[in-house]
Amino acid sequence: MLFTSLKFVLFIVVLFVLYYTVAKHDQWPLLLVASLVFYYMQDYRFLLFIVITAVTAYILAIATENFAARRKAYLKEHKSEMDDTKKKKYKNTTKRVQALYLAIALLINLGILATTKYTNFIIENINALRSEPLSFANLIVPMGISFYTFQTVSYSIDVSRGTVKAQRNFWKFLLFVSFFPQLVQGPISRYGDLSQTLYEEHKFNYKEVSLGYIRILWGYFKKLVIADRLVVALKVLVSDSEMYQGGFVFIVMMLYAAQLYCDFTGGIDITIGIAQILGIKMAENFNLPYFSKNIKDYWNRWHITMGSWFTDYIFYPLSVSPTILKLSKWSRQHLGNAIGKRIPVYVACFCVWLTTGIWHGAAWHFVVWGLMNFAVIMISQELEPLYAKFHAKFGLKEKAGYKVFEIVRTFFLMSSLKLFDCYRDAGLTFKMFATMFYKPGFGSLGSSELLNLGLTSSDYIVAGIAIVIVFLVSLYKALKGRELREFLFEKYPLFLVACTVLVIVIAVFGAYGVGFDASQFIYNQF
C-alpha cells in the first residue's frame, strides 16, 4: 500500500475518524492494529520478521533490567561484607552476564537484517572468485527492516545502559517497533522519545491536526509534483551511459539532488504529519540540508536520526573502547602525539561511514559512497588549520557572499557523491563524473535534447516553479527560524487558502498518467 495511493489516503481517513471516536484508552491498541494491518497489506510474510524482532528484544530487555535490579539489591544487601576488591570482581562478573543478554539480542536482530539483506551480496562476491557459482538464496527483504531493526537495537542498548526503562507491556512495545508511518523510510525513532506521546491519550487538538494536515499536503506536493515527475527523465539519463555523458551528467546531478530531496523529505513530511494529526511527536529528520556550509554540517542536517544513531551507538562507544585507546597510546609513543590523538577519531569515523554505506544497500557502490564521505570529512578536518589562517588573513568568513559560496560548494560536492546512487556502479560513476571535465559538451545541450528525456516543456515548467516554491519555503525557515505553516496558521484565512491551493495543485499537477508512476519512496529500499 503506497503512501501515494488512494487506498492509503482512505486508510488514514478511516484511522483518523476511529482514533478520535474510540475511548481514549483504546487509541494505542487501535494504532497497533492499524500498524499490523498496514504491514500485512504489504506482504503477510513481513509480519513474521517484525514480530520475531519485537519478541526477542522485549524478552531480553526485561531479562537485562531484572538482572540489573538483582545485582543492585545484592550489592546493597551485602555492602558491609564486601571490600572494594570483592565488589569490583562481582561487578565485572555481572557486567559480563548483562553484556551477554545484550549480545544475544543484537545477534538475533542484526542477524535477521544481515541474512535477509546481505546474503545474496555475499554469494555474489564469492561467485566472483569461484569457477562454479553458488546459487542465490530465495529470500524476501521485509519493508523497512533497516529502520525498525535499528530502532530495536537502540532500545536494547539503552535498556542495557540503564538510560530507559524496559517496556513491560509487549503490545505497547510491538507498537513502538511497528508504528506504521515510520516503516517506509523512518525516521529512526528512539524509545525514550517516541514513547512519550505514543501511548498517551490524545484529545482532538485543532491546531496540531491543522499543522499536521498541511504538512501531509506539503509532503505530497514535493513527492508527486516534483520527485515523481523528475524521476522519468533521470531513468532515461542513467539508462544509457554512452549517450548521456558530459553535460548530461551535470543534469543528472541537479535533477537527482532535487528528486531525492523532494522524495525523501516529502515522505518524512507525510510520516511526521500523520503522527502529528494523531497527537504523536516524532523526531525531525531534516533541517535545511541544502543550506549547509560544509559536509559535516550537511550530515548534521540530512537524515538526522540516522546520523545521530551511528554517532551514539557506533562512533562514541568505539572511540573510547579499550582496544582503540590502546592503539591510540601505542601510536602516541611510536608515531607521535599528533597522530596518536587522531587514531580514535579516524578509526571510529571510518567504521561509521563503512557501516553507513553498507546500511544503505548491499552493493559496492554504497560502500564506496560511504568511504568517499569519510575521506572528504577527514580531509576537510585536517585542513581546518589552513582554513583558519585563510579566514584570519582575508576576513571572508562572515561576509554574505562567502557564505553563499560555502553553501553552493557543499551542494555541488554532495550532489557529486550522490552520483553513486544514480549509476549504481562505482567504476561507472567515476567515469561519468570525469566526462563532465574532459568532454563536457554543455554547448550541445538544448531544448530538443531535454525534451527527449520523457518530459514535456510543461513538465519542466511545472517542476521548475514547484522547486522555486520549495526553495522559498525553505528560505523562509532559514531566515525566520520557524516553519511557514506556523505563520500561515496564525493568519488562518491564508492557511485555508494554502491548503486549498495545495490540494488543487497536487490533484492537477501530480505526476499521474502515461509515462509517470506514483512510485514507492526511494528510502523504502533501505
Cα gap 442→53, rounded to integer Å: 52
Residue type for 439, please?
A: K
- Other beta carbons less than 10 A from residue 7's beta carbon: 9
Spatial distance between the Cα atoms of 142 and 140, rounded to a whole number of angstroms:
6
In angstroms, how far is CA 149 from the centroid of its own chain?
A: 13
C-alpha cell at 428: 561507472
Count other Cβ atoms within 10 Å, centred on residue 65.
Answer: 19
CA distance 355 to 47: 26
Question: Tens digit of pLDDT for each residue in 485-522?
Answer: 999 999 999 999 999 999 999 999 988 654 444 555 55
Q: How high is the pLDDT of residue 95?
A: 83
Lookup result for grid cell 522524495? 263
Q: Give the containing element (helix H, strand E) for 519.
A: none
Residues 35 and 31: their CA atoms lie apart, in Å, by 6
Residue type, 444: S
Helix residue ranges, H only, 418-491: 419-423, 426-438, 447-450, 457-480, 484-490
Q: Are 331 and 339 in contact (CB under 8 A)?
A: yes
Write down the pLDDT at residue 514.
Answer: 45
Cα gap 170→177, rounded to integer Å: 11
Query: Is residue 349 helix, strand or coil?
Result: helix
Percent of the chain with pLDDT over 70: 96
And the C-alpha cell for 475? 528560505
Written as tens digits, the pLDDT of the chain (526 aa) is 678 888 999 999 999 999 999 999 999 999 999 999 999 998 889 999 999 999 999 999 999 999 888 888 877 777 777 777 777 777 777 888 888 999 999 999 999 999 999 998 899 888 888 878 888 888 888 988 999 999 999 999 999 999 999 999 999 999 999 999 998 888 999 999 999 999 999 999 999 999 999 999 999 999 999 999 999 999 999 998 888 888 899 999 999 999 999 999 999 999 999 999 999 999 999 999 999 999 999 999 999 999 999 999 999 999 888 888 888 888 888 888 888 888 888 999 999 999 999 998 889 999 999 999 999 999 998 888 888 888 888 888 888 899 999 999 999 999 999 999 999 999 999 999 999 998 877 766 776 788 888 999 999 999 999 999 999 999 999 999 999 999 999 999 999 999 999 999 999 998 865 444 455 555 555 4
Could you give the CA distance from residue 183 to residue 198 in angstroms, rounded to a whole number?
15
Instruction: Please report the DSSP string for 126-172 in residue order.
Output: HHTT-SSPPPPP-----TTHHHHHHHHHHHHHHHHHTSSPPP--HHH
Helices (H), 240-342: 247-277, 295-299, 304-310, 316-319, 322-335, 337-340
pTM higher than 0.85, yes or no?
A: yes
- Give the Cα separation of 155 and 152 in Å (integer): 5
- 3-state SS assignment for residue 217: helix
User: What backbone torsions phi and psi does residue 2 show, to the nearest 5 degrees?
Assistant: -65, 145
Report the pLDDT value the prediction gives residue 519, as an integer from 0 to 100: 53
**Which residue is associated with the grid cell 515522505?**
267
- Please answer whether residues 380 and 296 qualify as being in contact, where contact means their C-beta atoms are separated by less than 8 angstroms: yes
Cis previous bond, 187, omega within 30:
yes
Number of H helices and number of E strands within the chain?
25, 0
CA pair distance 382, 484, nearest whole angstrom: 38
Contact at 8 Å (CB) between 181 and 270? yes
**Alpha carbon of residue 129 to chain centroid:** 34
| 3-state helix/strand/coil string of 374-390 | HHHHHHHHHCHHHHHHH
Whole-number Å distance between alpha carbons of 121 and 137: 10
> 75 — alpha (psi -120 to 50), left (phi > 0) or beta?
alpha
Q: What are the grid coordinates assigned to 30, written together?
A: 487501535
Q: 213 near 496, Cβ under 8 Å?
A: no
